[in-house]
Amino acid sequence: MFGHDHRAEDIAERIDHLMTAVFVADDTDRLQPLTRHLPSDFVYVSPQAVFEGAAGLSETFARLRHEPHRHTSRRRTSPVDLHHGYFRYSWARSERGVTALEGWSFGSLDAEGSISRVVTFEGLVPGRTAGRS
């Protein structure tokens, strides 16, 4: 894994695709890009539960996706910091165009350079003091 020349920009692009795909309403249109960007043994860890595979990541956001009146989206709010097969970034979830929640995630790449694990924290982003966003 450590011999690969992973570029933060490439990982950032894949993360951006994943954050967009989880809110696509159509099952096929949502699962195809998730499956394309994730290995079968992918794991997503949220404060609520642990989810496995592309279908698990899709399920993570099902409640928000099934409430279209919220107009929910999620975007990366920092560059991806990457070294030795590990990465981190901050993000914001918006509802109706207003930031509803901020947080940060870290993860790891497998031997092929695929995103194999993402662990998400909601709330205070490291390096920011409470009350500032």
What structural domains and CATH numbers belong to the chain? 8-122 (3.10.450.50)
Q: Out of 12-21, 26-35, 64-73, 79-88, which region has the weakest mean confidence (pLDDT)? A: 64-73
What value does the mean pLDDT take over residues 24-30? 92
With cut-offs at 50, 70 and 90, classify the pLDDT of residue 114. Answer: very high
pLDDT value, residue 71? 85
Pairing of strands 86-95, 98-109: antiparallel
Q: Please give the Cα distance from 91 to 85 (Å, whole number).
A: 20
Average pLDDT estimate for 106-116: 94
pTM recorded for the entire structure: 0.84
d(CA 47, CA 121): 7
Residue 46: count other Cβ atoms within 10 Å of its Cβ.
17
pLDDT at position 132, please?
Answer: 45
> Which tens digits make up the pLDDT trace of 38-92?
999 999 999 999 999 999 999 999 988 877 777 889 999 999 999 999 999 999 9
